[in-house]
A and B are shown apart, each in its own frame.
Chain A
């Protein structure tokens, strides 16, 4: 009797571990669901939107200019940020805000990306803390799931911050 209970418990623990591991691999290597908060990506992503972020393009280094990514915040690794990639390594980006008279440009250093929110007036991003290491990127946002009326893929950048490469 006691033995049967033990065997059953062990079996249950084993199955739990197995499914936990499968879940970990799915979330770590395929994609995850993220609930966004904060105004920095308005109007593309508004507060409390549910989005799906896929991990594959980050693992295969297929992140492109204009993609929206989830990244670890460089100043607080436990916090995640959701921003648009404005420049990859070697790209020229504008570091000043659109209202500035004098435009300042820099080239993004090797292994880094330049991230900016779509809501330029209310976003803490690379304009404050500079380029972000590529390895901090966790995934690329590919689908918006909630609210239902805005279900679908995400729109292009609403402001002309991306400088097309020659």
Chain B
């Protein structure tokens, strides 16, 4: 996940503006320039970090686990997605959303998967140790679209909602694939029933 380039870019932009302002006053040029540089730095860095943490985050998708929704061409090109972090601040997701999650197996890694089941859903698994699983409270069931090439809930079971990092809302690169990501669940992956909502809502 690439964040450093964006962050530095924005802070340099801000510092550039502050620098021009300082030069206009034409007094103690070098000194003023350095002061403007430092104060610009102290504004730009916290604002950028906060925006990336709270509002939205840009990340490159690696790997084939979400084909064909993301990275349809495989190795040759990788998609860049906008992760909406504001919309998951209350840990609310829908079935079918593509979300990025901190990997339960490796805390340094983020994985991007589709939400298949929410808490209370009974899911028919694909190769997990149990054939049917009821997703416990505060957890969700995530799967990659490319079955068999994905490390997902079929490997490590239901994932705690607290590990959610963001919801992929748009594909922003390459430009030809610019689009909003709509939630969609494959028909055969719909939950069998939901224990919390009652069992009469399945169709």
Contact = CB atoms under 8 A, between A and B. Distances in A.
A135 B104 contact: yes
Contacts, number: 71
Interface string A13-34: 0000110111011001100000
A134 interface: yes
Nearest to A24: B50
A22 B47 CA distance: 7
B118 to A, nearest CB: 13
Contacts of B106: 110-111
A75 B137 contact: yes
Given A78-B91, A111-B104, A72 B43 contact: no
Interface in A92-116: 109-112
Interface residues of B, number: 27
A29 B12 CA distance: 22
Query: Helix, strand, loop or mixed for chain B's interface?
Result: mixed
A166 interface: no
A114 to B, nearest CB: 14
Contacts of B108: 61
The CB with the most chain B CB atoms within 10 A, among A75, A76, A109, A135, is that of A135
A133 B163 contact: yes
B105 interface: yes
Contact of A74 (B46, B91, B162): B162
B60 interface: no
B53 interface: yes
Contact of B160 (A25, A78, A133): A133
Interface residues of A, number: 25
Contacts of A133: 102, 104, 107, 160, 163
Contacts of A73: 138, 162
B122 interface: no
Given A28-B53, A77-B160, A111 B105 contact: yes
B163 A111 contact: no
Contacts of B54: 24
Interface string B28-58: 0000000000000001011101110110000
Nearest to A131: B104
A136 interface: yes
Nearest to B49: A25
B50 A135 contact: no
B103 interface: yes
Contacts of B107: 61, 111, 133-135
Interface in B86-105: 90-91, 102-105
A136 B47 contact: no
Contacts of B137: 75-76
B148 to A, nearest CB: 22
Contacts of B49: 21, 24-25, 28-29
Closest 10 CB pairs of A and B: A77-B162, A72-B162, A135-B102, A75-B138, A21-B50, A21-B46, A135-B107, A133-B104, A134-B107, A111-B105
13 contacts: A20-B50, A21-B47, A24-B46, A25-B49, A28-B49, A72-B160, A74-B139, A74-B162, A75-B139, A77-B164, A111-B104, A133-B102, A133-B107
Interface of A: 17-18, 20-22, 24-25, 28-29, 61, 72-78, 109-112, 133-136
